[in-house]
Amino acid sequence: MKDFNFEYTNSQLGIKLSIICFSTFLFLLLTSVYTKDYIGIIPNLIIVFVIPFLIIWFNRNRIKIFGEASIGDGFVDFKTNEINRRVEFNKIESYLIQTNGGTFLRLILTDGFKIKITANANFCNTKNFNIFCECLEQNLCLYKSKSNIEIVKDKTFYEKKWLLYFLFIGTVILITLVFFILFYKNTFPTSAFMILGPLLALWGGYFNNKSKNKFKNK
């Protein structure tokens, strides 16, 4: 049996803080219309962005929590704040391991119960959790080959077939619009950066996932 200790993210607290931060940001942004005349535009912008950041910063240690897991012959034991149970491999219907800005593990059991653990790289040291997930996947693959039991490996977001088509079409549309505006208005549309940023992030995640899969298959 192999034992693992790892850091992971308190997802419920993370969601609550995200809602609080977004609400605070929206409130400060709306009220800045009235307060900018008193304290100035730049101090207003600083307040709008800094206060939500400070909410996350002062709660960062509460978001990170510690868990344990053990992998044995045909089973895995979880000991976290939310889960304390043994899961037999033959009771696993499907699993998902996704690494992008951290590591996400999801197990769906045959009785419909779901186990979800996230280690966000912004708040946790994800190294040990990565090692645990890799070891778990190796043991699941070995168990499948020995027992001839079907355990489905769910595709990650970046492995979805439609994503490449979406990225390609989105990139073509963006480039076409930029050249169209440049040609007819002789000006670069600065609003394109709002679309370009997320698009580049998606392309980066897609190619990063491709390189990881090639490395695994070597």
Same domain, 148 and 69: yes
Q: What is the pLDDT of residue 215?
A: 46
Q: How many domains does the chain have?
A: 3
Low-confidence residues of the chain: pLDDT under 70: 37, 156-160, 185-196, 205-207, 209-218
Residue 146 lies in a domain: yes
- Do 180 and 149 lie in a common domain? no
Could you read off the pLDDT of 38-61 as tens digits, one per residue? 777 777 777 878 888 888 788 877
What pLDDT digit, counting tens, does each position of 199-213 carry?
A: 777 777 666 766 665
> Which structural domain range is residue 125 located in?
64-154
Q: Is 65 within 8 Å of 133 (Cβ atoms)?
A: no
